[in-house]
Every structure is written in C-alpha cells, then in structure tokens.
Amino acid sequence: MISWIYLILAGLFEVGFTSSLVMAENAAGWGKTLWYGGFLVSLALSMYFLIIASWDIPMGTAYAVFAGVGAVGTALMGIFVFHEQVNFWRVFFLVTLIGSIVGLNLVSTPK
C-alpha cells in the first residue's frame, strides 16, 4: 500500500514540475530562477518516488499511473489555476483517465 502512496506522490510532484514551468515562463528576474529551481526539485522528487514505487509495483502499471496522475493533475491546475478552457469533452476524458488509473490499481498485483 505504501508503494501506491509513493506513486501518487510521484504524480503530484509531476504536477509541481509542469506547473513550475508555466510559472517560470510568466515570471521575471529572481522569480524566474526560483520557479526553475522549483522545477528541478519537483522533478527530482517525482523521479525518486517513481523509482521507489516501482520496486513493488510493476513498471508498466507504475508508469501508466504516474503519467495519468500527472496528466489529470496538470489539466486540473490548468483549469483552476491558469484558467484554461473547460468543456464537456475535456471533463469526460479526464474522468475516463481517472477511471483507468483506478482500474489499473484494482487489477495490478505487486511483483
């Protein structure tokens, strides 16, 4: 169970590094440098937690869940923080992706 928590953390830090890139793009001076620093820290932590999770979760499943959590989280950040467009199809496919992540969790067995 702890491996799944590490995997979710890895995905959340993926959201952190993608969001840091957007924030760095909109910043200037030291702010830009700090956001790029946040990107590097988030990237390192994301990979660290993915590696630890993959010790117990098959890599195919781990990477799919990692990428899915990152994609959903980044899309939600775009919608709620960066005010990106929301429409039926975007929400439909996000819900479908979440369902797929849950399904992988349910059918995957540890190594």
Torsion angle, CA of 49/53/55/56, rounded to 10 degrees? 170
pTM: 0.86
pLDDT at 104: 83
Confidence band of 111 (pLDDT split at 50, 70, 90): low
Q: Would you list the DSSP string of the chain?
A: -HHHHHHHHHHHHHHHHHHHHHHHHT--THHHHHHHHHHHHHHHHHHHHHHHHTTTS-HHHHHHHHHHHHHHHHHHHHHHTS-----HHHHHHHHHHHHHHHHHHHH----
Confidence band of 110 (pLDDT split at 50, 70, 90): low
Query: Which residue ranges make up each domain of the chain?
Result: 2-107
